[in-house]
């Protein structure tokens, strides 16, 4: 089985469409680690497109909860809060219902687990090795996919206890199809893997991020896909979304 692993789409339609084009023919099921909406200009269209993907499994993120009103946006900064209120005002009724019914992580699928933040807290940011190591030590399954940080890569720990981080410095553009890194899963090593953010990367690369996991080959391929960024930015400006949210997309921060 080949899984398209998506996270943090954040209502970025052009970014999402570009990922789907790059992944075409390469996956049998789509999994989404949350934050389908929030920040971006196309919450309804992104939910519609996600629902059209074959065998999709989706868990909720913190922005999904805030945008459908089951959590408050009080903890968000001013810009995120403004985007949340705007999203609430445009979401169609059936999409609010869809977001409300999204299950929280962790969600176990054959051979791996999905979480938004972490296994112990769906809203936890696992940003660095000190945060990741205790989680990897307790992790029951070999492979856990997480999102929330908007950084493509992740962490792993081998049987000797040695740990490693995979991040922007390990990615390279040698692959013409947009593949920036392949990781082969090794026995007795545990992996905490972030496919990166589709709609609002923060790892210094503006391009949309995703991953494909092939459980027969025991391989994870990380990808980056260019998309029509000016089009997304124009829509955000037209919607009156905060300027800093528009600008950050072009620097990937």
- Residue numbers of the site for Zn ion (CB under 5 A)? 8, 35
77 φ/ψ angles, rounded to the nearest 5 degrees: -70, 170
Give the β-pairing of 143-145 and 112-114. Answer: parallel
Nearer to Zn ion, 9 or 185 (CB): 9
For residues 76 and 98, which CB has a smaller minimum distance to Zn ion in the complex? 76
- Which contacts qualify for 18-25: CB closer than 8 Å, 24 or more apart? 18/208, 18/225, 18/226, 18/227, 18/228, 19/198, 19/208, 19/210, 19/223, 19/225, 20/49, 20/53, 21/225, 22/177, 22/178, 22/210, 22/223, 22/225, 23/210, 23/212, 23/223
In angstroms, what is the minimal distance from the CB of 9 to Zn ion?
9
Least separation in angstroms between CB 201 and Zn ion = 10
Closer CB to Zn ion, residue 116 or residue 179? 116
Based on CB atoms, which residue is closest to Zn ion, 117 or 178?
Answer: 117
Beta carbon of residue 61, minimum distance to Zn ion (angstroms, whole number): 6
| Nearest distance, CB of residue 208 and Zn ion, angstroms | 13
Position of minimal CB gap to Zn ion: 35
């Amino acid at each position: 089985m080949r899984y398209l692993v998506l996270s943090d789409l954040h209502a970025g339609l052009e970014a999402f469409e570009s990922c789907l084009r790059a992944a075409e023919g390469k996956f049998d099921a789509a999994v989404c680690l949350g934050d389908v909406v929030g920040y971006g200009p196309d919450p309804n269209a992104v939910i519609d497109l996600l629902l059209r993907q074959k065998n999709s499994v989706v868990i909720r993120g913190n922005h999904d909860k805030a945008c459908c009103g089951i959590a408050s946006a009080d903890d968000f900064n001013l810009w995120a809060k403004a985007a949340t209120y705007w999203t609430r005002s445009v979401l169609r009724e059936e999409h609010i219902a869809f977001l409300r019914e999204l299950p929280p992580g962790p969600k176990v699928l054959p051979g791996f687990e999905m979480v938004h933040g972490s296994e112990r807290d769906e809203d936890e940011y696992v940003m660095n090795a000190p945060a990741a190591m205790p989680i990897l030590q307790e992790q029951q399954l070999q492979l856990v996919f997480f999102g929330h940080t908007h950084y493509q890569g992740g962490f792993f720990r081998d049987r000797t206890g040695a740990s490693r981080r995979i991040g922007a410095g390990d990615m390279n553009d040698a692959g013409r199809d947009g593949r920036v890194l392949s990781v082969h899963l090794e026995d007795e090593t545990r992996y905490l893997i972030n496919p990166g953010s589709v709609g609002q990367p923060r790892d210094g690369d503006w391009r949309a991020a995703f991953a494909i996991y092939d459980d027969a080959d025991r391989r994870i391929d990380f990808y980056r896909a260019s998309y029509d960024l000016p089009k997304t930015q124009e829509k955000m400006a037209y919607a009156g979304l905060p300027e800093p949210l528009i600008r950050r997309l072009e620097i990937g921060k």
